[in-house]
A and B are shown apart, each in its own frame.
Chain A
């Protein structure tokens, strides 16, 4: 297999590496670069556990090839907290019991971050949050805490 040399930034850190053309972004982040917070629940684009931000846009890292990330800025769950300080969204997830096993959590956090970044000026209704949350799968929580956490964060950021 021929290898391709690429460079990208992950959570503001520069990386250069050589990857096979068929290697997924998820495998590259997890196994080549050590960002194991990006999880794989299905590897076929349904569950959203692998959601990361590529140039600010949420993508399913299992459906993107590593080479496609060449020259981009990728944000993973490891880049959300400020040192030991959880982000407001992360804190809200804990406060609202939005996670149990936590396997889906990185995907929901990044999905919500992207959404909130775009629409922070608008009111986020529970119905809108539910629709957003319906993009990804969680097998543990029944989604209620996830929805509440995102709505609460949107509200707090608006203030």
Chain B
């Protein structure tokens, strides 16, 4: 029986449903101190004085530290370095020393017995900042450019010169981010050895964070153990190395006490990576038949005050992935990474693709209008076909060559259009007998995702004496269901029931070589490593069973957790038996042979695998109030092989909800002094069930990835990639706009400012 492909109930659910999850703030240690970070109240200025005397005198306060207490020039380095960019002048210090550059920048830390008292004391820190003008618009002249990147090939200039049609639009993407429901939390517990630390709360890339922390503290990395925990959502932002990830462990060592820090929501919204804010000027040249001759995009990214661990990964992905699923003979994408006095940026689910897909797909809809073509027909004329696969694009991204590995883009687009028709999307968007102010529209967008970034992932599989199969993976549990997915993969590979598998994900002692959960890589790369390690354990089990049973290996089979002789099911050895057969003192081991029924395997991926999909939305726009409601939403997605279709659908649906948030609701706004205006859930509007429609999913498994043994592609980001594009296109359709909607999110005020948005006889609803 195969478990892969089934809707196996999640291994994570029972503990989470019973309140037995172990989230960051659920960990405590005897004698722990609490930390509170003192943050800059000013967007930009010189730190003239920090007076901590009064705070230090609050009863129960153990220490107040400022930049002067830290090693000098301590900055957080880039994790995803990209060739030819030097960001060393733009990195964030752990605590600001002379200058603050955004509201929320850490200035000091107060540590004490009680979190309430720490907050009191933090408010007593005297902060004197000499204000300087805050830069809040990345398009300001002259911009402070941290990096400029260009990706492309061919001669777009020549193509534009001979084009029959040239279409250009501007589109701005709003500043928003992952905003997981659980704020960050960190507990650092010093051990007996100097430098020894147990850490609870690092996720995503625990091994990388452990190694960096060890380097910054000057200790051997094996002294630090990052424990596996439950995390209340990741979405790219959680688990990167932030200033607090140095401060809390450092304080624990320095004070020789456990130190815990739990962020509040206001802190989270101004401290954790922002994302997305970009200004696109995108243009395409077409021949008379509507075929793309060239594509160009000029992008300005508002990166906030510093370059963080992602370096320039988001802007690079934006321009590298921009041509998407289309045949683009000539291309140039340029992006300037501009610093402003806002919270620094990093990745958020589908980084660069949400933004680039919105710009490109909106451009195509505007072009379809100009060229007098149906938007679907224009896309069909330009999609790469199956016969053109694999398609090598002379572009590198994240240090890998881009080879669109497999797929049938035109077929998926046709299937999505047919599915939307079958579900009545077109009729709904035509919306007969609507009140005059209401307009409906249909919008569609296509995208290519990337997944399975290497270079490697390592997995250990070992069988304990009870017959339990333990899987130690380097991925981390962020809510995506990795424990379930790896259980299914291991169960099939080894030949055991899922109930016999136990997955530990993200413990640096149990798996010291893990590369983490990000970039939709865990199922692809981590899953492949588990598959290989479990297959190796299976072979080993059969080898040992052959010795015990004095049978030939080819006569043995391993299924349901036991090895039996083919044709004689009465003779069998369970995995528990075989774990004992492999025990150190076993007489079945040969001389010099290592004990244990276990294997470690490393799966290497030199290229990414590229899933793809189509989003379609029906919206209703109130042209008087400017309110946009999404009535129906469809995602068609090629995933190669769905290990657990329920989880893939869940990823897609959850991604859509976040995407609709970014398209309509969520935005980090600032006032003219650089004060953040979205520091609670009242101003930062996460979508509720009232804003999210039922999401239809068309899950395709037609094009297995050739790059891994399971044929899988990642599914973490396909639900969000094209959401900005589909919603923007639907709103444009509803209002009958000739050009671009101009700016996301499409808040009521922005919609009201669009040309079609005046109460009057409806013109929307052209399907």
Chain A residues packing against B (C-beta within 8 Å): 20, 22-23, 30-31, 35-44, 46-47, 49, 76-78, 80-81, 86, 90, 93-95, 97, 99-106, 109, 130-131, 133-147
B232 partner residues in chain A, CB cutoff 8 A: 39, 41, 101-104
**Is A41 touching B680 in the complex (CB atoms < 8 A)?**
no
Most buried by B among A109, A130, A140: A140
Indicate whether B474 reaches chain A with its CB closer than 8 angstroms: no
Q: Are A142 and B653 in contact (CB under 8 A)?
A: yes
List chain A residues, Cβ under 8 A from B28. 31
Q: CB distance A39 to B481 under 8 Å?
A: no
Please choose the segment from B19-27, B375-383, B390-398 that sits at the chain A interface, where 4 or more of its residues have CB less than 8 A away: B19-27
* Inter-subunit contact B688/A134 (CB<8 Å): yes
Q: A36-B19, A94-B9, A133-B689 are in contact. Are A100 and B695 (CB under 8 A)?
A: no
> Knowing A80-B18, A140-B479, A142-B695 touch, does A43 contact B230 (C-beta < 8 A)?
no
Q: How many pairs of residues, A versus B, come closer than 8 Å at their CB atoms?
A: 164
Instruction: Render B448-481 as a binary contact track against A, CB cut-off 8 A, 1 for contact.
Output: 0000000000000000000000000000001111
Interface presence of B288 (CB below 8 A): no
CA distance A135 to B681 in the complex (A): 13
Contact of A138 among B181, B646, B655 (CB under 8 A): B181
Determine if B692 and A142 form an interchain contact, defined as CB atoms under 8 angstroms apart. Answer: yes
Chain A CB within 8 A of B431 CB: no
Given contacts A41-B265, A130-B690, A142-B657, contact A101 B18 (CB under 8 A): no
Residues of B within 8 Å of A99, CB to CB, are: 13, 16-17
Of the A-B pairs whose beta carbons lie under 8 Å apart in the complex, a sample of 24, sorted by A's number, is A39-B182, A41-B181, A41-B183, A77-B19, A90-B18, A94-B17, A97-B10, A97-B646, A97-B649, A99-B16, A100-B233, A100-B654, A101-B182, A101-B233, A101-B478, A104-B181, A104-B232, A105-B16, A105-B17, A134-B690, A139-B654, A142-B654, A142-B692, A143-B692
> Number of contact residues on B: which range applies?
35 or more
Residue of A nearest to B182 (CB): A103
Known A90-B18, A103-B21; 15 more pairs at CB < 8 Å: A35-B19, A36-B25, A39-B23, A40-B183, A41-B181, A41-B232, A90-B17, A99-B13, A101-B16, A103-B182, A105-B17, A106-B19, A109-B17, A133-B689, A139-B686
B650 and A100 form a contact (CB under 8 A): yes
Q: Which residues of A contact B235 (CB under 8 A)?
A: 139
Q: What CA separation (Å) do A101 and B162 show in the bound complex?
A: 53
Scan residues 625-657 of chain B and give those whose CB is less than 8 A from a CB of chain A.
Answer: 646-647, 649-650, 653-657
Beta-carbon contact of B17 and A86 below 8 Å: yes
> Quick one: CB contact mask for B14-54 with A, threshold 8 Å, 1 for yes?
10111111010110100000000000000000000000000
Contact of B155 with A by CB under 8 A: no
- B231 / chain A contacts, CB cutoff of 8 Å: 101
Residue with the highest number of chain B CB atoms closer than 10 Å, among A30, A46, A136: A46
State the CA gap A143–B658 with chains docked (Å). 11
Question: Could you tell me if B182 and A42 are in contact, using CB atoms closer than 8 angstroms?
Answer: no
* Residue with the highest number of chain A CB atoms closer than 10 Å, among B28, B235, B653: B653
B116 adjacent to chain A (CB < 8 Å):
yes
Q: Are A30 and B25 in contact, CB atoms less than 8 angstroms apart? A: yes
B123 within 8 A of A: no
Q: Which of A76, A94, A104 is the one whose CB lies under 8 Å from B19?
A: A76
Q: Which residues of B contact A100 (CB under 8 A)?
A: 233, 479-481, 650, 654
**Is the beta-carbon distance between A23 and B116 smaller than 8 angstroms?**
yes
Complex Cα gap A99–B481 (Å) = 10
Of all A-B residue pairs in the complex, the 3 with the closest CB atoms, nearest first, are A37-B19, A101-B479, A102-B16
Q: Are B13 and A77 touching (Cβ within 8 A)?
A: no
- Chain B residue numbers with a CB within 8 Å of A104 are 181, 232
Given the complex, which residues of A lie within 8 Å of B419, measured CB to CB? Answer: none
Closest chain A residue to B264, Cβ basis: A43
Contact A144 B694 (CB under 8 A): yes
| Minimum CB–CB distance for B334 against chain A, Å | 34
Contact B681 A144 (CB under 8 A): no
**Is there contact, CB below 8 Å, between A140 and B654?**
yes
Tell whether, in the assembled complex, residue B695 and residue A144 are in contact, meaning their CB atoms are under 8 Å apart: yes
Q: What is the minimal beta-carbon distance from A123 to any residue of chain B, in angstroms?
A: 19
Chain A residues whose CB sits within 8 angstroms of the CB of B654 once the complex forms:
100, 139-142
**Once the chains are docked, how many angstroms separate the CA of A69 from the CA of B348?**
40
Q: Is the pair A43, B689 in contact by a Cβ cutoff of 8 Å?
A: no
Report which of B183, B479, B647, B649 forms a contact with A102, defined as CB distance below 8 A: B479
Cβ–Cβ contact A93 & B650, under 8 A: no
Chain A residues near B23 (CB-CB < 8 A)? 36, 39, 103
* B13 contacts across to A, CB distance below 8 A: 93-94, 99, 102
How distant is the Cα of A72 from the Cα of B230 in the complex, in angstroms? 31
Indicate whether B320 reaches chain A with its CB closer than 8 angstroms. Answer: no
Q: Are A145 and B230 in contact (CB under 8 A)?
A: no
Which of chain A's residues has its CB closest to B480's CB?
Answer: A100
Q: How far is the CB of B718 from chain A (nearest CB, A)?
A: 13
